[in-house]
Amino acid sequence: MAKDQDRYWNDKDHQLDKFTQDNKGKEMSSNEGTKISNDENTLKAGLRGPTLHEDFLFQEKLAHFDRERIPERVVHARGYGAHGEFQVYKSLAHLTKASFLQDPNKITPVFVRFSQVAGSRGANETNRDVRGFATKFYTDEGNFDLVGNNIPVFFIQDSIKFPDLIHAVKPEPHTEFPQGQTAHDTFWDFIGSNTESAHMMMWIMSDRTIPRSFRMMEGFGVHTFRLVNREGTSHFVKFHWKPVLGAHSFIWDEAQKLGGADPDFHRRDLYNNIEMGNFVEYELGLQIISEDDEFMFDFDILDATKLWPEEEIPVQIVGKMTLNRNVNNVFAETEQSALHPGQIVPGIDFSNDPLLHGRIFSYSDTQLYRVGTNYQELPINRPVCPIHNNQRDGQGRITINKGQVAYHKNYLAGNTPKEVPPREGGFSTYPSTVEGIKVRKTAPSFEDHYSQARLFWNSMSPVEKDHIIQAFSFELGKVETVEVRQRVVNMLGKIDHELAALVAKEVGVKRPNVSQVSVQQSSAALSLMNQPRYPNTLRVGVLIADGFDGDETKYVLSELEEAGLELVFVGERLGDVEGSDGVKYSIDETFLTGSPLLYDGLYVIGGSDPSRYFMRKTRNFVRDTYNHFKPIGATEEGAVIIEQMNIIGKPGVIVEREASAFVNEFVTAMAEMRFYSRVYRNV
């Protein structure tokens, strides 16, 4: 934590610091503390060996190395984490007694792990996939884990189907491909055979599953939870995270190619922005339904394949989370972090959602296997409040519990640790009424699989609809079994005839003859087109060569930075480029190490006498940026280079001779992000 000694330290920072160590400048020793004089040679009998069995230092080093890996998470294996803080805007005492939601002045440390579901730990990060958004709040009443996704609904309604879903999405067992992708037979066979997935399927085929950044995606708790206040009144709640920068996505062509250009794109983006001081902010939103209104809706609020339309049940913004510190060690912190949706604090409780109930078992179970019996004692998982109970021992036990007594009830320790009554902060389950006969059945109220899938479709803009059609055509196009393709297209027919007909044509199956659900409504909240847009933290590739106009460039670039844009200097080779009047900039990326995929827009400055290579590469960069609908700016020499490309005057191509007008127009274009009107007529 040396680099941020000056920053305000919260309780978790202080706790983690006790376990954090820096080897720099220190003497080398074994794990047992023996100082090491030679770490380059094994102990041998004679210069040419053999190695001696007594080399205890070698044995310790290799044996530890042999055990460095722990099992990767069975899902969400690839992920990246960061630390931060949460504060509520004003007291939520009317809804919940949870202490971290009472006082706007209370700072609650958090750790967030973002992830992708299907890929293994080494998968590329821009694959089409649902992203995990898992938050551990280290509250003063214990940890509360909000383990959500960037999609508000899920594939299945009952947790007993989860292993089947995951077996279907993972690489096929007889070949072990494809890696981290849904575009294969078993996944779509599962979808076509389990039609409750219809709604989720629409979300995953939308641009939501190819987010531009972890910093630019929404988070959803998905399940219905309860908030319970001090008077014992319960409300149903859905949790939302709204990114302050808005939710934005790649387009498919970019996402696919980025897998090659930078397979670590998302973690690099998060890490670099936090290091640059662009702290990452999300607002916490709540949708609330009172107990009395449980049955007021045309969907069952316990069904995780349904969302609560924001127009009917508005999202109340109640607080803000800021991610402001990268981890010091990815294994110790992110990999060993153990998130568990069954981990709640007083004032929060579960609903009867059958998917949630399965998770309450699965996560602690998986941590016991993956991390170990005492996983909660590891620094990253430890609560910041005191822990006292009679649980003892097990592999890797860290705490040394003193004393004779490890049981309840007792006389010898005055019957301590003592139970805490609910009014003094002890957890008590909300006393909801439960009755019924034992059954293995799905409730009839869970049977509508298509209405909200159509609500989603109705809510999409023409561009988003086109992307969804293309996504289905790509994914099903990769499915080898015709019948599997046909079954999915038949499902689409129940959502929308036109969608089904277009996809059927693309993937060579029959147009389905089924009736579509009759939902007419749409929800503006579901379209990414309605998200807030800002230039802040967007990356501009600045294409520059020797002999540029120094004064003008200095002015424009400082204004662009002022507007919050990140400038990346791209040139022919690393080193400095020099302007006509001696102004110098250092090149960050060359045409070889950089790629137009890595920038949200291009600013072509050029130079007084650019090489043919510079001009050719610049045109290539501009072409890709244009095809990805991203803004392009050019001044003076830059404009000359792109002149023959027939794009000047097209939407989002800003060629302006006057510097301050250029800055204004280019910053506005960057904030707009995409100019689909280059190709689509009705946007």
Which residues on adjacent β-strands are paired with residue 319? 88, 284
By C-beta, is 157 or 490 nearer to ligand HDE?
A: 157
By C-beta, is 74 or 683 nearer to ligand HDE?
A: 74
Annotate each residue in 97-136 with x if it binds ligand HDE (CB under 6 A) or - if it does not, as one string: ----------------x-x----------------x-x--
Element (H, E) at 147: strand 142-149
* Stretch of 247-255, 353-361, 408-416, 507-515 lying at the interface with ligand HDE (CB under 6 A): 353-361
By C-beta, is 16 or 77 nearer to ligand HDE?
A: 77
Query: Of these residues, 76, 184, 199, 449, which one is catalytic?
Result: 76
Residue selected from 99, 135, 149, 459 as contacting ligand HDE according to rule CB under 6 A: 149
Q: Verify binding: residue 602, ligand HDE, rule CB under 6 A.
A: no
- Pairing status of strand 219-220 against strand 589-590: unpaired
Tell me whether residue 200 is exposed, middle or buried, using C-beta atoms within 10 angstroms of its C-beta: 0 to 12, 13 to 18, 19 or more. Answer: buried
Show contacts with ligand HDE in window 612-651 (CB under 6 A).
none
Which residues on adjacent β-strands are paired with residue 115? 79, 132
By C-beta, is 154 or 662 nearer to ligand HDE?
A: 154
CB of 117 to ligand HDE, least distance (A): 7
By C-beta, is 304 or 563 nearer to ligand HDE?
A: 304
128, two tokens: 């089409």
Q: Is 14 a catalytic residue?
A: no
C-alpha distances in Å from residue 91, one per residue of 103, 138, 273 = 5, 18, 31
For residue 495, give the nearest of 456, 544, 545 by alpha carbon.
456
Query: Of these residues, 143, 149, 278, 490, which one is catalytic?
Result: 149
CB of 360 to ligand HDE, least distance (A): 9
Tell me whether residue 127 is exposed, middle or buried, using C-beta atoms within 10 angstroms of its C-beta: 0 to 12, 13 to 18, 19 or more. Answer: buried
Q: How far apart are CA 500 and CA 491, in angstroms?
A: 8
Residue selected from 84, 109, 142, 148 as contacting ligand HDE according to rule CB under 6 A: 148
CB of 83 to ligand HDE, least distance (A): 14
Write the single-letter amino acid at 204: I
Q: How far apart are CA 147 and CA 665, in angstroms?
A: 41
CA torsion through residues 325, 326, 329, 333, sign = positive
Annotate each residue in 307-346 with x if it binds ligand HDE (CB under 6 A) or - if it does not, as one string: ------------------------------x-x-------
Q: How far apart are CA 548 and CA 555, in angstroms?
A: 13
Annotate each residue in 197-226 with x if it binds ligand HDE (CB under 6 A) or - if it does not, as one string: -------------------------x----
Annotate each residue in 468-487 with x if it binds ligand HDE (CB under 6 A) or - if it does not, as one string: --------------------
By residue count, the chain amounts to 683
Is the backbone peptide bond immediately before 178 cis, with ω within 30 degrees of 0?
A: yes
Q: How far apart are CA 674 and CA 659, in angstroms?
A: 23
Q: Is 149 a catalytic residue?
A: yes
By C-beta, is 93 or 332 nearer to ligand HDE?
A: 332
Residue selected from 187, 363, 450, 456 as contacting ligand HDE according to rule CB under 6 A: 363
Evaluate whether 540 touches 568 at the Cβ level (below 8 Å). yes
Q: Verify binding: residue 266, ligand HDE, rule CB under 6 A.
A: no
Q: Verify binding: residue 362, ligand HDE, rule CB under 6 A.
A: yes
Q: How far apart are CA 45 and CA 60, in angstroms?
A: 19
Write the single-letter amino acid at 271: Y
How many alpha carbons fall within 13 Å on the CB side of residue 210?
Answer: 22
Q: How far apart are CA 516 and CA 496, in angstroms?
A: 6
Annotate each residue in 157-176 with x if it binds ligand HDE (CB under 6 A) or - if it does not, as one string: --x--x--------------
Cα 677 to its chain centre, rounded Å, is 29
Show contacts with ligand HDE in window 40-79 (CB under 6 A).
73-76, 79
Residue selected from 171, 263, 358, 417 as contacting ligand HDE according to rule CB under 6 A: 358
How many alpha carbons fall within 13 Å on the CB side of residue 549?
Answer: 15
Residue selected from 355, 489, 538, 641 as contacting ligand HDE according to rule CB under 6 A: 355
What residues are annotated to the active site?
Answer: 76, 149
The contact set with ligand HDE (CB under 6 A) reads 73-76, 79, 113, 115, 132, 134, 147-149, 154, 159, 162, 222, 304, 337, 339, 355, 358-359, 362-363, 366-367
